[in-house]
Amino acid sequence: MNEDLTTTTCPETTRTTTRRKNLKKKWGGKEWKIAREKFIAERGGKCEWCEGTERLTIHHPMRNSYGDLAYMNFYLSGCILLCSRCHAALHAGKVLCEREHADGENHYRSHDAEMCSHCYLQEHPEIKELAEIARAEKRKRQREIRKAQAAKVKAWKEKNGGKKK
């Protein structure tokens, strides 16, 4: 019963997969590792946003330039050195909040906001209580959803004898 099944792949998926494979080859190479270490050393080995030194990564603002000659020249391709936390925030559309925080932590704000939520709650204590209530309600809803999902799984297992089909 050999059926010839053909699958159609989205061109965007193919492009992304090919890009990732090409980047993996490039990032695994000796030339990349040497250039990366040199760039980190020249930038002082610190995140350009928070000045952290752990888990540093190079952010390429021109993500589709991996085939260009400029890709390996971090200065020509406009790269910046970020820690993994700031790098994730950047890709989420956030920037480091410039204000001083009493807790000593780095907080991120939306790129078009004046301050992060931490600063906003500090300046507006009347909202802090409402925010706590909203978070507690959200946690309660999440617990209820997990309980309902667990009950469905339990009922299914009881009905089917715990065996997967």
pLDDT, tens digit, 9 for 90 and up, residues 100-143: 888 888 889 988 888 888 888 888 888 878 888 998 999 999 99
More confident residue, 33 or 5: 33
Does 4 have pLDDT greater than 50?
no
Does 25 have pLDDT greater than 80?
no
Among 25-39, 100-114, 128-142, 149-163, the minimum mean pLDDT is found in 25-39
Contact call for residues 89 and 55 (beta carbons, < 8 A): no
CA 100 to chain centre: 24
- Collect all residues with Cβ–Cβ distance below 8 Å to 87 and sequence separation of at least 6: 57, 59
Q: What is the mean pLDDT of residues 59-88?
A: 72
Does 63 have pLDDT greater than 70?
no
Average pLDDT value for the chain: 80
Does 21 have pLDDT greater than 70?
yes
